């Protein structure tokens, strides 16, 4: 005997309607079309393209999407108002992939008494007439008793029975204000199926629409699916009113990764999961709503690891700390983020990626400098590592590659005041390991530091060239300073310094150049050839 096929859940995407209601997320026609095309590639079953009565722009967007897309059903939202329904019907009339009108009416006690100021019988009659009117435009009508999760069970049963009789093909039970908890929300679906057998008998689709005000949108959606919902209303990145909606990417991946348990187990969707990340980036870019770093599935940190223990496990087997392959949603690869919690294994792996082989004492030296830098930066970038290795090579060679000891910066203080000379106090460790200190004034803090360095080293030089650039991005970027010095007797030397502090980088560069000049002081000056 063949096993029964796994149940399928339709993905109803309302990014272009409920998602666009997020403050600041307004989209123009071109942007809506671009997102709709991507949603078609993603494989959503229904696109709620807008609320046609609200503006001419929304009407045109729904009509344009309906006229172009051939895959998804295109849906327009309408209140139980004749003008709304007629406008939605006109907008989706030419839908190539299927047309739907989504009619809603508030049913909870607080909405009946304070918003609509109508009795239950009046609301039932109004909903019935509205569904019948919508059926005059399309065969596919969805009805939502708004605030269903706070509606009395007997009222919900009465209005849903009337909606089915009037011709609704989908019944959506919204948790409009994100009030429900999973067990409670699931029971609403089970209760309706038990008391209205015509739902299953006539193939009426139960749908769930959950908001995230208590952070329970996905949990509630899974509870609804477990209790018979066969359509889930979601948005890309979870955008939407207030705290947002159930996130498409979270629901789809929960059903895929936990196929054994989520939604009751073995529930399928038609989503092409490799298009998820691309869809997320597009919606974020076009709406201007950033995705929080720790957002599940599509956040910047979703596949990023900084802890040394986690990085070591990832290098041995990614499944130790990742429950899904990032490539399965379109993310190229996981990231081992190098920061203060990272270990040697991740550092060595990143160095190999950069073509740098380091082990033993060399790796330890790089690691020590890396940890020092990581305490000052949130993230250490590849350019930082290359700079550390380059600096170590220069230090190991000694001044001008002689292998001799060198002056090193121990510390400094610099004070700059408008209208008065700057003051600097510098400490250097000499080639014999002794600490030397001097103070000096200058036109600015860097010049004051340079004067102090000259006093300590006994080398006088002119600054011929000074260049500064950021080698990494962000407010904690590491800066690189390059200087070129010359002496009266014709000696020249270059130096390079790196630090998140510009003055420190400048002093390091100057000390490096002075080391080279000090080495060359013992060498005879070059004699020009005679003509």
For residues 215 and 218, what is the distance between their CA atoms, to the nearest angstrom? 8
Q: Domain of 362?
A: 304-397
Question: By three-state DSSP, how is residue 211 classified?
Answer: strand
Q: Which residues lie below 8 Å from residue 260, measured CB to CB, with a gap of 6+?
A: 266
Q: Are residues 269 and 342 in the same domain?
A: no
- Residue 153: its H or E element: helix 153-166
Per-residue pLDDT tens digits for 237-285? 999 999 999 999 999 999 999 999 998 888 999 999 999 999 999 999 8
Residue 72 class from Cβ within 10 Å (0-12 exposed, 13-18 middle, 19+ buried)? buried
Residue ranges of the binding site: 18, 209, 211, 245
Count of the separate structural domains present in the chain: 3
Host H or E run for residue 318: none
325 with 384, same domain: the answer is yes
Measuring CA to CA, how many Å separate 343 from each of 301, 317, 339, 504? 18, 16, 9, 26
- Listed in sequence order, the residues at least 6 apart from 249 whose beta carbon sits closer than 8 Å to its beta carbon are 236, 237, 276, 279, 280, 296, 297, 298, 329
69 falls within a domain: yes
Residue 26 has a pLDDT of 84
Helix runs in 462-522, H state only: 502-520
Q: What is the pLDDT of residue 371?
A: 85
Query: Which of 231, 261, 287 is the last residue in one of the domains?
Result: 287
pLDDT for the residue 386: 66
Asked if the structure places residue 469 within a domain, the reply is yes
Answer yes or no: do 55 and 148 share one domain: yes
CA atoms within 13 A on the CB side of 305: 25
Considering the domain boundaries, does residue 295 fall inside one? no
Spatial separation of the C-alpha atoms in residues 14 and 73, rounded to whole Å: 12
The C-alpha atoms of residue 195 and residue 294 are separated, in whole angstroms, by: 42
Taking the C-alpha atoms of residue 100 and residue 233, their distance in angstroms, rounded to an integer, is: 14
pLDDT at 247: 98
Same-domain pairing of 126 and 183: yes
Q: For residue 147, what are its two tokens?
A: 């605030």
The rounded distance, in Å, linking the Cα atoms of 381 and 97 is 47
Q: Which two tokens stand for residue 281?
A: 């980036």
Q: What is the reported pLDDT for 101?
A: 98
Output DSSP code: residue 350.
H
Q: Is residue 53 part of a domain?
A: yes
Q: How far is CA 106 from CA 51, 52, 174, 206, in A?
A: 17, 19, 10, 17
Q: What distance in Å separates the CA atoms of residue 443 and residue 448, rounded to the nearest whole number?
A: 7
Residue 234: CATH number of its domain: 3.20.20.70
CA distances from 163 to 84, 100, 119, 141, 233 (A): 18, 15, 17, 10, 19
Q: Using the 8-state DSSP alphabet, how is residue 264 labeled?
A: G
Q: What are phi and psi of 369, to 5 degrees?
A: -70, -35
Residue 315 lies in a domain: yes
Residues of the chain under the 50 pLDDT cut: 1, 397-404, 522-531
Distance CA 11, CA 234 (A): 7
Claim to verify: residue 375 and residue 459 sit in the same structural domain: no
Same domain, 273 and 377: no
Residue 463 is inside which H or E element, if any? strand 462-470
Domain end marker among 255, 287, 319: 287
Structure tokens at 510: 């100057």
For residues 249 and 336, membership in a common domain is answered with no
Q: Tokens at residue 309, please? A: 């223990």
Is residue 124 classed as helix, strand or coil in its secondary structure?
helix
C-alpha 77: how far from chain center: 29
Beta-strand relationship, 73-79 and 46-50: parallel
Name, in order, each residue with C-beta under 8 angstroms of 449's C-beta and a sequence gap of 6 or more: 412, 414, 424, 426, 440, 442, 503, 506, 507, 510
Residues contacting 212, CB < 8 A, separation 6+? 178, 238, 240, 243, 244, 245, 246
Structure confidence at residue 336 (pLDDT): 64
Task: Say if residue 215 is in the same domain as residue 329.
Answer: no
Instruction: Tell me, yes or no, whether 1 lies in a domain.
Output: no
HSE (CB half, 13 Å, CA atoms) of 482? 6
Assigned domain for 3 exists: no
Strand pairing of 479-486 and 462-470?
antiparallel
Q: Do 415 and 308 fall within a single domain? A: no
**CATH code at position 494:** 3.30.160.270
Nearest CA among 282, 270, 202 for reference residue 36? 282
State residue 282's pLDDT score.
92
423 shares a domain with 334: no
Residue numbers in the known binding site for Mn(2+) are 18, 209, 211, 245
Question: Do 274 and 380 fall into the same domain?
Answer: no
Task: Let me know if 171 is exposed, middle or buried by CB neighbors in 10 A (0-12, 13-18, 19+).
Answer: buried
Residues 174 and 104: their CA atoms lie apart, in Å, by 10
Q: Flag whether the pTM goes above 0.95.
A: no
Do 427 and 380 belong to one domain?
Answer: no
């Amino acid at each position: 005997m063949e096993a029964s096929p796994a149940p399928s859940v339709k993905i109803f995407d309302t990014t272009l309607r409920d998602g666009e209601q997020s403050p600041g997320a307004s989209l123009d026609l071109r942007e809506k079309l671009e997102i709709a095309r991507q949603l078609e590639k993603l494989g959503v079953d229904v696109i709620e393209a807008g609320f046609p009565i609200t503006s001419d722009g929304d009407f045109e967007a729904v009509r344009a999407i309906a006229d172009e897309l051939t895959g998804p059903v295109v849906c327009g939202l309408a209140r139980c108002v004749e003008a709304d329904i007629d406008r939605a019907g006109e907008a989706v009339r030419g839908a190539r992939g299927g047309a739907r009108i989504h009619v809603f009416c508030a049913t909870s006690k607080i909405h009946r008494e304070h918003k609509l100021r109508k009795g239950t019988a009046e609301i039932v009659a109004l909903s019935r007439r509205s569904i019948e009117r919508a059926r005059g435009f399309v065969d596919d009508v969805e009805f939502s008793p708004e605030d269903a999760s706070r509606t009395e069970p007997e009222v919900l049963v009465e209005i849903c029975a009337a909606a089915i009789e009037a011709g609704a093909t989908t019944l959506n039970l919204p948790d409009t204000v994100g009030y429900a908890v999973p067990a409670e929300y699931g029971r609403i679906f089970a209760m309706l199926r038990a008391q209205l057998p015509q739902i299953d008998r006539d193939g009426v689709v139960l749908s769930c629409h959950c908001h995230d005000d208590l952070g329970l949108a996905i949990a509630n959606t899974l509870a609804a699916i477990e209790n018979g919902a066969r359509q889930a209303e979601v948005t890309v990145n979870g955008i939407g009113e207030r705290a947002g909606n159930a996130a498409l990417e979270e629901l789809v991946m929960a059903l895929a990764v936990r196929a054994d348990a989520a939604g009751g187990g073995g529930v399928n969707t038609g989503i092409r999961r490799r298009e998820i990340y691309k869809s997320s980036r597009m919606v974020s870019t076009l709406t201007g709503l950033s995705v929080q770093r720790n957002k599940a599935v599509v956040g910047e940190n979703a596949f990023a690891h900084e802890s040394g223990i986690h990085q070591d496990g990832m290098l041995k087997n990614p499944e130790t700390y990742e429950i899904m392959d990032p490539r399965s949603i379109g993310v190229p690869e996981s990231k081992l983020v190098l920061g203060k919690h990272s270990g040697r294994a991740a550092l060595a792996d990143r160095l190999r990626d950069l073509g740098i082989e380091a082990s033993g004492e060399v790796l330890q030296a790089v690691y020590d400098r890396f940890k020092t830098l990581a305490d000052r930066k949130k993230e250490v970038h590849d350019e930082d590592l290359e700079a550390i290795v380059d600096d170590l090579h220069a230090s190991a060679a000694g001044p001008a590659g002689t292998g001799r000891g060198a002056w090193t910066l121990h510390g400094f203080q610099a004070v700059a005041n408008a209208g008065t000379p700057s003051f600097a106090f510098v400490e250097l460790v000499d080639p014999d390991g002794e600490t030397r200190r001097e103070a000096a004034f200058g036109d600015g803090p860097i010049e004051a530091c340079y004067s102090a360095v000259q006093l300590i080293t006994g080398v006088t030089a002119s600054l011929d060239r000074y260049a500064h650039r950021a080698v990494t991005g962000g407010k904690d970027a590491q800066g690189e300073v390059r200087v070129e010095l010359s002496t009266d007797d014709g000696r020249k030397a270059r130096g390079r310094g790196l630090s998140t502090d510009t003055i420190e980088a400048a002093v390091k560069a100057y000390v490096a150049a002075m080391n080279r000049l000090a080495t060359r002081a013992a060498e005879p000056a070059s004699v020009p050839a005679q003509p």
